Amino acid sequence: LERACRNSWDAMLTEARTTNRLLWDSETYRFENATMHDGTLSLALSTIPFSIRFGMNEHTERVKDLGIAYAAMGMFTSCLVQTSDAASVFIEKSDKYFTRKKYAWVGGVLSKMERVLRSGGDLFGALEDEVMEELGVGAQVFDGQSLRAGYLTENWNVCLLFSQTISLSARQLQQRFEQAGDGEAKRLMCIPASELRQQACIFEERDQVKFAILDLL
């Protein structure tokens, strides 16, 4: 399985080079187990190379046959960012990085290279880093943040689903993004609550579970 994943990764690298897009490898975090005691959630983590984790997405059925012990269980964050005027924020991906997704939630893979996770503060800090980088904002705009759920995806990875409110209106956020976005997003999508049900259909089917968990539909 690992050999097959590396072959898939090599094919992705070739495609990324051909299309002038970036693709990086690093040690990323892998979910081992979780326990709850006296209202405190404890996560046990290990690491897995991103190349293996990403390559394994091409071998979902084989992992299903082998069993969960062979799954990548790579951890990533997805965040529902909401503005002060109740718009929900998503991004349309640019061509800067190699990806097959066009529309996405704010968030990303939890990489040990970017931030070492030793505490809950580190985990929330990793999410804040993603929000600041992708949207072009500073930490001073953060109002409230919570971890809403964690679930196993169809590709045998673990999504940590957060919500984050910010003190900027949708228009103010758009202005900040145009001035300081990191280039991963081509544009922001600030969707009013009244249009969220209609707009949710543009996301991949695998993203629909996030909307269901957050009870927005």
Distance of CA 120 to the CA centre of its chain: 17
Give the integer Cα–Cα distance in Å for 215 and 9.
36
- Residues 158 and 151: their CA atoms lie apart, in Å, by 6
Percent of the chain with pLDDT over 70: 98
> Which of these, 104, 50, 97, 93, lies nearest to 75 by C-alpha position?
50
AA identity, residue 128: E
Q: What single DSSP character describes residue 141?
A: G
> Residue 201 pLDDT more than 50?
yes
pLDDT for res 126: 96
Structure tokens at 187: 């544009």
The pLDDT of residue 216 is above 70: no
Phi, psi of 26, deg, nearest 5: -165, 175
Residue 217: what pLDDT? 42
State the pLDDT at residue 181.
66
Other C-beta atoms closer than 10 Å to the C-beta of 105 total 25
pLDDT in tens, 137-178: 999 999 989 999 999 999 999 999 999 999 999 999 999 998
Contact present, 47 and 131 (Cβ < 8 Å)? no
Neighbours of 195 (CB within 10 A): 11
